[in-house]
C-alpha cells in the first residue's frame, strides 16, 4: 500500500455502520441452509452473466486487456467457480463423522462453520476474478463479507459494487470503492478472517493488521516462480509455452514463469522458439498488435519494470528477444534476456511483466540449489522426460504448487488447493479448499 489522503469521516462512518450490521447478522447467515446459500450464489452467477458486457468494458477501461482474456478470466471463470460452489456446497457443509477412540458408542464429528464477518481485498491483475472467486467461497461457507477492490481498477470496482448491490443485502455483503486509505480503515475493523491477494510486501501489512484482532488470514501472494528445463525436454514446445504464458495478461500473473534454467547447449533453441511464437501471435508486418496484449497497469509499475530491465542490460545481460518498452502507452514487448546473473535486480524481485530472464546450468543440482537458497515461490515449473529428476526437484524444493511439463495447470485444476507457502502466501483456496479457507472446523463430541 502507498501513502494516500485519509479516508473521509463519511466513508469511515459508513464502513463502521455496515460492519455493525454484518456483525449482528452473522449468526443468521451462519445458520443458513445449503438451499439458502445456493440461492444467493445463483443470484450472483446470474448477475455476473447479465453484466458480462459491462465487466468487459470496465476491465478494458482499467487495463487494456484483450477482450478474449477478459471473457475467460473475469466472466467465464467466475461463473464456473460460482457453479462449482452451487453444485458442491450441500456436500461440503455435511459434518465428518469420527469414531471416538475411547468409547465407540459415543459420537464425534467435525462440523464446518462460518468464520463470521470477513474482509476480502482484491488485486489489480485480475480485479474481478480474484475477488469474486473468494467471495463465492465465503458465501458458500455462510459468512458475511466486506469487499474492497483495488483503486487501480476503479471502473471494475464500480461494476463489482453494482453487481453486489443487486444480489445481496448490505448486512450480508458490501463492496467499498475508493483509494488505499479505505483499505487501511477497513483493516482496523475486528474481522474474523481476512482474505488478501497481492504482493508479499502488502501481505505483511495485512497480516500485521489482522494480528491486532487475532483474525485468521488467507494471503495469496507471489514471488519468483522458476522454470527448470531438463535435458531431453522438448525445447521448441517449451519456448512456445513460455511465450504464451508471458503474453497472458502482459505477464502480470502471480504464477507467471519468472526465470528459466536451461542447459547451455539448448539455450539458442529456446530463444528461437520463444521468438517465433511471439512473432506469430503478436506481430503483423513487423508491428506489435497492442490490442492483443495487456498494458502494464500504471506508470509506477512500468517504471519499476524498466528499472529492472535497464539494470540487467547495464550489468551485461543480452536482449535475445524483444527489448522494446513503450512508455507512452505502457506497452512492454515480450522479452527474453540471456546472460543474466544473480546480482542483477531482475533476479531479485518479482518481474510482473512480459520479460523472462534465462540462466544456463550444467547439472540439474545447480538449478535445484539456486531455488533452495531463495524464498519459496508460488509456482514451480519443471519440464523433463526423466521421472527421477522430476522426483528430485519435487523432493528438494518447496513451492505453493507445481506443474510438470506444462504451465498454469495446477492453478486451473479446482480439485487441487491453490496457494503459496511462507513468502508466497499463507493458506489456499479453489473448490473445496476455498470453502475450507472461510470455515472453522469445529470439533463436536456427544456422550451417549
Catalytic annotation, residues: 220, 254
- CB of 230 closer than 8 Å to CB of 389: yes
Bridge partners, 263 (sequence order): 361
Q: Pull the grid cell for residue 391.
A: 522426483
Report the candidate in 153, 37, 170 with the shortest Cα–Cα distance to residue 438.
37
Task: Round to whole Å and give the CA distance between 268 and 320.
Answer: 9
Task: Round to whole Å and give the CA distance between 117 and 133.
Answer: 17
Task: Round to whole Å and give the CA distance between 282 and 247.
Answer: 9
Query: Could you tell me the CA-to-CA distances from 402 to 226, 243, 346, 437, 447 in Å, in that order?
Result: 10, 19, 22, 21, 44
Quote the distance between the C-alpha of residue 129 and its chain's center.
9
Report the candidate in 446, 436, 444, 445 with the shortest Cα–Cα distance to residue 218.
436
Strands 287-288 and 283-284: antiparallel
Count how many Cα atoms sit within 13 Å of the Cα of residue 251 in the half-sphere of its side chain: 28
Report the residue count for the chain. 448
Count how many Cα atoms sit within 13 Å of the Cα of residue 204 in the half-sphere of its side chain: 4
Burial class (CB in 10 A: 0-12, 13-18, 19+), 347: buried
Q: Pull the grid cell for residue 281.
A: 501471435
Three-state secondary structure call for residue 166? helix
Query: Could you tell me the CA-to-CA distances from 317 to 172, 271, 310, 321, 374 in Å, in that order?
Result: 53, 14, 9, 12, 21
Report the candidate in 330, 310, 328, 327 with the shortest Cα–Cα distance to residue 319.
310
Task: Round to whole Å and give the CA distance between 207 and 199.
Answer: 12
Query: DSSP string covering 236-266, please?
Result: HHHHHHHHHHHHGGGG--TTS--EEEEEGGG
| E-strand stretches of 268-346 | 283-284, 287-288, 318-321, 325-326, 331-332, 335-338
Q: Pull the grid cell for residue 311.
A: 539494470
Quote the distance between the C-alpha of residue 229 and its chain's center.
24
Amino acid at each position: 500500500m502507498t501513502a494516500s489522503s485519509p479516508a473521509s469521516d463519511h466513508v469511515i462512518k459508513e464502513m463502521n455502520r455496515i460492519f455493525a450490521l454484518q456483525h449482528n447478522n452473522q449468526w443468521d447467515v451462519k445458520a443458513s441452509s445449503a438451499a439458502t446459500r445456493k440461492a444467493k450464489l445463483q443470484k450472483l452467477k446470474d448477475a455476473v452473466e447479465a453484466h458480462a458486457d459491462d465487466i468487459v468494458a470496465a476491465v478494458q477501461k482499467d487495463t487494456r486487456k484483450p477482450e478474449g482474456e477478459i471473457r475467460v478470466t473475469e466472466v467465464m471463470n467466475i461463473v464456473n467457480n460460482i457453479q462449482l460452489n452451487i453444485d458442491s456446497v450441500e456436500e461440503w457443509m455435511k459434518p465428518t463423522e469420527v469414531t471416538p477412540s475411547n468409547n465407540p458408542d459415543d459420537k464425534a464429528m467435525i462440523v464446518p462453520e462460518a468464520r463470521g464477518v470477513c474482509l476480502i481485498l482484491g488485486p489489480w491483475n485480475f480485479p474481478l476474478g480474484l475477488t469474486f472467486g473468494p467471495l463465492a467461497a465465503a458465501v458458500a461457507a455462510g459468512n458475511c463479507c466486506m469487499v474492497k477492490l483495488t483503486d487501480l481498477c476503479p471502473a471494475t470496482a464500480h461494476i463489482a459494487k453494482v453487481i453486489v448491490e443487486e444480489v445481496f443485502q448490505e448486512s450480508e455483503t458490501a463492496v467499498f470503492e475508493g483509494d488505499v486509505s479505505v483499505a487501511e480503515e477497513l483493516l482496523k475493523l475486528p474481522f474474523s478472517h481476512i482474505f488478501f491477494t497481492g504482493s508479499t510486501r502488502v501481505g505483511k501489512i495485512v497480516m500485521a493488521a489482522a494480528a491486532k484482532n487475532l483474525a485468521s488470514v488467507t494471503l495469496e501472494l507471489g514471488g519468483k516462480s522458476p522454470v527448470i528445463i531438463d535435458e531431453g525436454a522438448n525445447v521448441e514446445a517449451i519456448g512456445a509455452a513460455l511465450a504464451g504464458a508471458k503474453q497472458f495478461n502482459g505477464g502480470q500473473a502471480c504464477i507467471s514463469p519468472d526465470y528459466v534454467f536451461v542447459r547451455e547447449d539448448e539455450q539458442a533453441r529456446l530463444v528461437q522458439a520463444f521468438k517465433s511464437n511471439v512473432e506469430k501471435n503478436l506481430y503483423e508486418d513487423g508491428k506489435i498488435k497492442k490490442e492483443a496484449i495487456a498494458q502494464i497497469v500504471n506508470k509506477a509499475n512500468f517504471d519499476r519494470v524498466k528499472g529492472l530491465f535497464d539494470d540487467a542490460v547495464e550489468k551485461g545481460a543480452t536482449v535475445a528477444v524483444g527489448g522494446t518498452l513503450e512508455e507512452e502507452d505502457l506497452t512492454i514487448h515480450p522479452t527474453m534476456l540471456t546472460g543474466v546473473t544473480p546480482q542483477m535486480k531482475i533476479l531479485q524481485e518479482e518481474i510482473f511483466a512480459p520479460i523472462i530472464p534465462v540462466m544456463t546450468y550444467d547439472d540439474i543440482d545447480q538449478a535445484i540449489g539456486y531455488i533452495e537458497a531463495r524464498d519459496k515461490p508460488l509456482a514451480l515449473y519443471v519440464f523433463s522426460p526423466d521421472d527421477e529428476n522430476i522426483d528430485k526437484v519435487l523432493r528438494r524444493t518447496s513451492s505453493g504448487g507445481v506443474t510438470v511439463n506444462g504451465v498454469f495447470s495446477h492453478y486451473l485444476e479446482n480439485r487441487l488447493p491453490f496457494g503459496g507457502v511462507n513468502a508466497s502466501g499463507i493458506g489456499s483456496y479453489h473448490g473445496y479448499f476455498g470453502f475450507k479457507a472461510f470455515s472453522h472446523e469445529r470439533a463436536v463430541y456427544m456422550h451417549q
